Amino acid sequence: MWTILLKIFKNRYFLATLAFLAFICFFDQNNVMNQNSLHKDLKELEREKAYYIAEIKKDKQTTQELKTNLRNLEKFGREKYLMKKDEEDLYIIFKEDDLPK
């Protein structure tokens, strides 16, 4: 048994293959650790892409609603930008958590 393993480890082709695999896995520019890091980055970017595509779809729908319905446009202006009519008074109520420090 030990003689067979000793012959295998003394074989120059086996040693060359082992050295090549070690170089590829650990010392090369595209080593295993870099590939793993790049794979994680790719997954994170794909999640961000899906999030932004969903946000773009939601914004397009909101824009379409604002373009077609004047009531929605007025409601949006009042809520988002605190717009008011000339004869109205505007009172803004903040929660304690939302107050600036």
Which residues, in sequence order, are CB contacts of 31 under 8 Å at separation 6+? 24, 25
Q: Which two tokens stand for residue 39?
A: 């794979």
Is residue 32 within 8 A of residue 26, CB to CB? The reply is yes
Give burial (CB, 10 Å; 0-12/13-18/19+) of 31.
Answer: middle
Query: Tens digit of pLDDT for each residue in 11-39?
Result: 888 889 988 888 888 887 888 888 899 99
Per residue of the chain (101 residues), give pLDDT as tens: 778 877 877 888 888 998 888 888 888 788 888 889 999 999 999 999 999 999 999 999 989 988 888 888 888 888 887 777 788 877 777 787 766 66
Q: What is the pTM of this model?
A: 0.57
